[in-house]
Structure 1
Amino acid sequence: MLESDLLYEQEYSIRINTPADPLFYYFDYDQRSHDINMEFQHDHDFYEIHILLDSSATHIIEGNVHALQQYDIVLLAPYRLHMTQYPAGLPHKRLIINFNMPRNIPGLETAYNEMLQPFNEEVPICRFTGGLRSAVFEPLNAIFTCSRSASPLNPVLIHSLFQQFLCTLSQQNDKNAYVLEEIGNAIMQKIYSVTAHIHSHYSSELSLDSISRQFYISPYYLSHQFRTVTGFTLTEYIQMTRVRKAQQLLLHTRQRISDIAGQCGFNSFSQFNRSFNKQSGMSPSAFRKAQGTSGGGSPLSSY
């Protein structure tokens, strides 16, 4: 094993608490293939880190396409829309880390904000090489090693080591070697620019004609290419984005459902109900009741 490698065991996982708890960790060591690529961007109410362990992949963050190389680190703040696409061929190893941690500890607020600052970068992807990469990964390897024992101290050790990992990322952020690369052809780039626009303007009036004018594409061409690239019609994608936003508001606020409908871009409450039922399999009120308002959710690291 090379010095800079991350320790790995397929289908191994480490869990401390649940996403509903103030302190939560889930480390998922597994592999994914092109056959189970995600269909749609998603978000969640906890932090996520994606580390590609071999070959290459594509990560889409709020509609923007990013090429990944081996050992690239993707840092996703809560509610940041994203999805990973793996190329055809053999499955690709990756480590997904979902986590929450208290940030209002007296005396540590400023330090915690600094520690988590890399998650707020416009392009939140880190690439390190050589000895620097080894130093960044050292705490993660220590977490893997200590998790193999049954010590009652493990949760404290893992929490401490993970904070060390985050601090190292923050301290070395100025040495980040990741560079943006053009991915795919021009029309693929254009379509993902359209998806980014939808995610940023879902509460506004959106239509095939208005988006065609915005991006200087004929409505027919946009309609055809959008479905080819994303697998959805433009209208389906807009409605899915709005429903996902509504789901988050239902989970994490006590706003009236009718207010949420308007805030998410639906022209009428009946339209909102139809779209929500179609995608969620239940009404907005039933969804809120079933999920509760604590925002626990479940890790989405299966992708």
Structure 2
Amino acid sequence: MQLDNELIYGNAEDLFFMEYNKRKGHFNMTVEHIHGQYELYYLFSGERQYFIRDRTYPIAAGDLVLIPGNELHKTSDTGVPNHARIVLYYNEKYFEQFGKQEAELLLSPFLSSRRVFRLTHQERLRFEQLLYGLLQEVQDQPQGHEMPIRHAVAEALLFAARHAINSKPEAEEGSSLPSPAAAKAMEIAGYIAGHFREPLTLDSLSRQFHLSTSYLSRTFKKHTGFGLTEYIGITRVKEAQQQLKETDERITEIAADVGFESLSQFERVFKTHVRLSPRDYRNQYGQKG
């Protein structure tokens, strides 16, 4: 089966949409580190580094990655060129079409603490047959193609849910321990997650972890995919999103609470990562009534 190097079905406003890419050379994800959709990521070939919330995962061909909505994440290059992957995005409203028990089943793998699942050879054959069938429908768009596409994206979720239920706990699968440098980067990310309301700078973090500024900055970028300032900003924005949705606090107060030095800085960083101003975000996603 010959597929195009890039296939897209739908868009971010739909109940679900899909992206497939076969990339040559080296590539680092540059946008959309936080989004509301639930994300199912599968790597057909190559290898990637996947940073999710505050942990880095090495991803190999045959790995399935499940990320809940609004979870901070980013893929980056491992130094090995060429990879092919598919990402299925599910809007929260997608699950409303199912009965209560079915919806709970399909959502269950996203709600566990585990993010990465390594498929066996037989599981890979079965899952890839499903995905390649989906991609063929997207590419050729024969008459009635919407129906098998709808079925395939639901079946992909069901496969993930059943696999997650039947999988061993992560520790039992012998997941490789991170290198000392990667462990240090994750420790720094965890510290930022717990102290983002405080003034955080490269200098202050270097003193906190007894590392030179150049080593800390280089190591953090290498093992998370994020620049240090970028990660601090996104962590603060993520908390601000919750407050904008769930409270009626003034935007200036939220900006100060999550650690921004000024309203203008908050608005600039927020719009960079969310693509909406804080006010527009509240109007679109905040509590109604």
TM-score normalised by length of structure 2: 0.77
Aligned to 1:181: 176
Larger displacement relative to structure 2 (72-81 or 53-62): 53-62
After superposition, where does 1:252-263 map in structure 2 within 5 Å?
Answer: 256-263=250-257
* Alignment gaps of 5+ in structure 1: 1-6, 296-303
Aligned to 1:227: 217
- Percent of matched pairs sharing the same residue: 22
Per-residue CA deviation, residues 186-211 of structure 1 (Å, 9 max, x unaligned), is 13311222113323543456577986
| Counterpart Cα distance in 2 of 1:262 and 1:26 | 37
1:113 aligns with 2:134: no
Amino acid at match of 1:77: P
Aligned to 2:186: 192
Question: Aligned to 1:153, which of 126, 137, 144?
Answer: 144
Amino acid at match of 1:104: E
Aligned to 1:13: 7
Superposition CA RMSD, Å? 3.6
Q: CA deviation at 1:144?
A: 1.6
| Counterpart Cα distance in 2 of 1:73 and 1:222 | 36
1:294 aligned counterpart, secondary structure:
helix
Q: CA deviation at 1:104?
A: 3.0
Per-residue CA deviation, residues 107-128 of structure 1 (Å, 9 max, x unaligned), is 6122112112112232311111
After superposition, where does 1:123-272 map in structure 2 within 5 Å?
Answer: 123-151=114-142, 153-173=144-164, 174-175=166-167, 179-183=174-178, 185-203=179-197, 217-218=209-210, 221=211, 223-231=213-221, 237-243=231-237, 245-246=239-240, 256-266=250-260, 271-272=261-262
Question: Aligned to 1:66, which of 48, 52, 57?
Answer: 57
Aligned to 2:23: 31
Amino acid at match of 1:92: H
Change (3 A) 1:236 1:97: closer
After superposition, where does 1:43-62 map in structure 2 within 5 Å?
Answer: 43-62=34-53
How many pairs were matched up? 274
Q: Is residue 203–residue 242 contact of structure 1 (8 Å, CA) maintained in 2?
A: yes
| Counterpart Cα distance in 2 of 1:160 and 1:222 | 53
Q: CA deviation at 1:78?
A: 0.7
TM-score normalised by length of structure 1: 0.73
Aligned to 1:273: 263
Change (3 A) 1:133 1:188: closer
Decide which structure has greater helix share: 2
Q: Is residue 39–residue 230 contact of structure 1 (8 Å, CA) maintained in 2?
A: no
Q: CA deviation at 1:90?
A: 2.7
Q: CA deviation at 1:11?
A: 3.0
Larger displacement relative to structure 2 (244-253 or 87-96): 244-253
| Counterpart Cα distance in 2 of 1:246 and 1:132 | 40
| Counterpart Cα distance in 1 of 2:240 and 2:67 | 20
Amino acid at match of 2:277: F
Per-residue CA deviation, residues 273-299 of structure 1 (Å, 9 max, x unaligned), is 2423554678x9x8246668436xxxx
Q: Is residue 45–residue 84 contact of structure 2 (8 Å, CA) maintained in 1?
A: yes
1:80 aligned counterpart, secondary structure:
coil
Amino acid at match of 1:147: V
Amino acid at match of 1:230: F
| Counterpart Cα distance in 1 of 2:147 and 2:16 | 12
Amino acid at match of 1:19: A
Change (3 A) 1:119 1:259: same
| Counterpart Cα distance in 1 of 2:24 and 2:194 | 29
Q: CA deviation at 1:247?
A: 5.7
Amino acid at match of 1:20: E
| Counterpart Cα distance in 2 of 1:31 and 1:43 | 22
1:102 aligned counterpart, secondary structure:
helix
